[in-house]
Copies of this chain bind each other. A is one copy, B any other.
Amino acid sequence: MINSPERVAPDTLARVQAEIERLGFRPSRAAQSLKQERAGAWGLELNSAGFGRLGAILDTFLIELTTGAAERGSHVVPFTAADSAEPLPAYERLVASRVADGFVLTDTRRDDPRPAWLEAHRVPYAAFGRVWDDPGITSWVDVDGASGVDAAVRHLADQGYERIGYLGWPEGSPVGDDRRSGWVRATTDLGLAHPEWQATSTQSLPAACRAAAGLLDQLGLPGRSARPGRPGRSGPGVAIVCASDALALGAWRVLVERGLEPGVDVGLVCFDDTDIAEALDLSSLHQPLDRVAERVLHLLATGPDSRDPAGGLLLPPELVVRSSSKPAGNRTTRKEK
């Protein structure tokens, strides 16, 4: 009745509306959902591999997504899969019980069973991360790792660093391989290519420290024991681009242990711009998570049939320059320590 007030006698309407006011009536989401057969909610799997771990950005993404969903009258329902390698039962359960109308995927990977399953069951979804297995699926938004690392290398070269190495993840992860390709491309373009100046490590700090130490040796900045005095600042500047902030923490630790100052003695740029980069004053590539969340919610709102036929959206990360990539001579004001 209150949805069509023009069909009610004015007296009745006034009485009903007064009563509604008195009772503090609000539309019930449960009642609306039943009528519309919609929960008004998007499921988001909390994968402990990508969430709440060192250098993770998904917690920030969840805040952006939650805020953006509320602006569109919906909300986010996080869930966990009992077995993260077999996530489909958890997705199926949320759809079957109508707790979620669709899903936001993160941590997309090769041989990811989720997009095909969701397509087959006509469940709306949008991914933060490319759908690597099927170029025909375009319901995704991602951050362009290659162009980000490319920009980081050019920034370092502009600052006068000439020996630019790369500390990345072991080959085979699509995100890691994408980021590394930016280093290969930019150093080749700039005539600074030295394919041997790279090392790989998992996200573990001890492993990152070992890999960074080896890379610094290769780049001509060995440990303190090998050089009794203060390390020289002569010769072309050495810099390292890291595939993540967690790897950069390892590199930073080795630098500090060797008495080398980030920026002054060795340039350092990392990826993800997490709290670690901010805390250690490291230059980093910032993922525009607000725009990612907005795009994901837009894809979900427009529905599976009207998806942008132009394909997924690649957003460039923004390079946040801090003291770790400014040689002393290039600094106008020295940051307070």
Residues of A that sit less than 8 Å from B by CB: 24, 26-31, 33-34, 37-41, 46, 48, 51-54, 56, 59-60, 62-63, 66-67, 70, 75-80, 96-99, 204-206, 209, 246, 249, 253, 256-257, 275-276, 278-280, 336-337
Instruction: Tell whether, in the assembled complex, residue A336 and residue B206 are in contact, meaning their CB atoms are under 8 Å apart.
Output: yes
Find the B residue at minimum CB distance from A41: B77
On chain B, the residues within 8 Å of A79 by CB distance are 66, 70, 75
Partner of A209, one of B63, B70, B275, B337: B337
CA distance A39 to B48 in the complex (A): 26
Instruction: Tell whether, in the assembled complex, residue A48 and residue B34 are in contact, meaning their CB atoms are under 8 Å apart.
Output: no
Find the B residue at minimum CB distance from A25: B96
A39 nearest CB across to chain B (Å):
6
Give 3 closest A-B pairs by Cβ, nearest first: A52-B59, A26-B96, A54-B275
CA distance A100 to B275 in the complex (A): 31
On chain B, the residues within 8 Å of A66 by CB distance are 46, 78-80
On chain B, the residues within 8 Å of A51 by CB distance are 59, 63
CA distance A280 to B246 in the complex (A): 11
CA distance A206 to B63 in the complex (A): 26
CA distance A78 to B60 in the complex (A): 13
Instruction: Tell whether, in the assembled complex, residue B62 and residue A46 are in contact, meaning their CB atoms are under 8 Å apart.
Output: yes
CA distance A283 to B26 in the complex (A): 51
Instruction: Tell whether, in the assembled complex, residue A77 and residue B76 are in contact, meaning their CB atoms are under 8 Å apart.
Output: yes
CA distance A130 to B81 in the complex (A): 31
Find the B residue at minimum CB distance from A256: B256
Instruction: Tell whether, in the assembled complex, residue A205 and residue B280 are in contact, meaning their CB atoms are under 8 Å apart.
Output: yes
A229 nearest CB across to chain B (Å):
13
A180 nearest CB across to chain B (Å):
23
On chain B, the residues within 8 Å of A26 by CB distance are 96-98
On chain B, the residues within 8 Å of A280 by CB distance are 205, 253
Asked, given contacts A96-B26, A98-B28, whether A52 binds B60 with beta carbons under 8 Å apart, the answer is yes
Partner of A39, one of B27, B30, B206: B30
CA distance A228 to B95 in the complex (A): 67
On chain B, the residues within 8 Å of A37 by CB distance are 30
Find the B residue at minimum CB distance from A280: B205
Partner of A78, one of B27, B53, B78: B78
CA distance A62 to B76 in the complex (A): 13
CA distance A62 to B62 in the complex (A): 11
A-B CB contact pairs (8 Å), 30 listed: A24-B96, A26-B96, A26-B97, A27-B97, A28-B34, A28-B98, A29-B99, A30-B33, A30-B39, A30-B98, A31-B34, A46-B62, A46-B63, A48-B63, A51-B59, A52-B59, A52-B60, A52-B63, A52-B275, A62-B78, A75-B77, A75-B78, A75-B79, A75-B99, A76-B77, A204-B279, A206-B337, A209-B337, A256-B256, A256-B257
